[in-house]
Every structure is written in C-alpha cells, then in structure tokens.
Amino acid sequence: MKSKILVKISAIAMIITGTGHTITHFVSQYSKNPYQSLLDKMAETKIASLANISVLDFHNGFSISMGILLIGVGIQILLAEKKTAQFMNLLTIGAIVLISVFYFPPFVIALTGISFICLFIHAIKYKPAQTV
C-alpha cells in the first residue's frame, strides 16, 4: 500500500471520529436522556471562575471543542508534509489512542487505532523528497 494512501486513511479516520462525536453531541442534546437528573445537577452546579458557568456548559463546550479538534487533526494530517509535522501528528494521535483505550467505547478505539497504525507505517516508510 502506498504511503500517501495510509496518510489519507489516517486522516479520514480522525475526521470521521470528530464528525461522529460532534453529531452525537448535538443529537444527544435533543433526545431523551436516561440520566436527566445528572444533567440537571450539572446545570445547577456553577464553576466560579472568570465567568459563572455551569458544569454542564463547561462539559458541552469541551465536547464541541473536542469534535472540532479531531476534525482539525484529520485535516492537519492531510496537510503535513514535513517529517517534523508528521512526527508531531503521530505523537498526538498516539496520545489520543491511549486516552481512547481508557475512556472511550471500542469503535472510537478502532478509529483512532487505525489512524495511528496508518501514520506509524507511513513514518517508517517515509522518504523525504530529493532536492536538487
């Protein structure tokens, strides 16, 4: 398999993960939640910081940010051409995979794992272009 195809697979896996996360967040906001009492408690609990926001608002903000960041990482993987940028992407996705193993369901582990494996194989096969 060509190295560029591996990079595209890695990027698409991250974009799918981010898009799925963002869609799931908004769908769950407007569907019946079996833990409504927990959400109510989160909404009532305020965080005294720069702004007086609820734990639920804080959670929602991080959730939406996470989805957007995953999409951004996928796009960054597609755009990265220098070895240093590719290495940083590999480290980032590696950290995301480790976090996924501890906190997320199997399909998220699979998507982030696919992304990491493809980037890792690409890193092993990567040969910088010859300059004249």
Q: Is residue 131 part of a domain?
A: no
Nearest CA to 14 out of 63, 61, 60, 76 is that of 76
Nearest CA to 81 out of 3, 2, 1 is that of 3
Q: Is residue 77 part of a domain?
A: yes
Sign of the Cα pseudo-torsion (92, 60, 111, 68, in order): negative
**Looking at the whole model, is its pTM more than 0.85?**
no
Tens-of-pLDDT digits for all 132 residues of the chain?
A: 677 899 999 999 999 999 999 999 999 888 888 888 998 999 998 877 757 788 888 888 889 999 999 999 999 999 887 888 888 999 999 999 999 898 888 988 999 999 999 999 988 886 655 544
Q: Is residue 40 part of a domain?
A: yes
What's the structural domain count of the chain?
1
Q: Is residue 16 part of a domain?
A: yes
Write out pLDDT tens, residues 78-100: 988 788 888 899 999 999 999 98
Q: Is residue 132 part of a domain?
A: no
Q: Is residue 96 part of a domain?
A: yes
Domain of 27, in residue numbers: 3-125
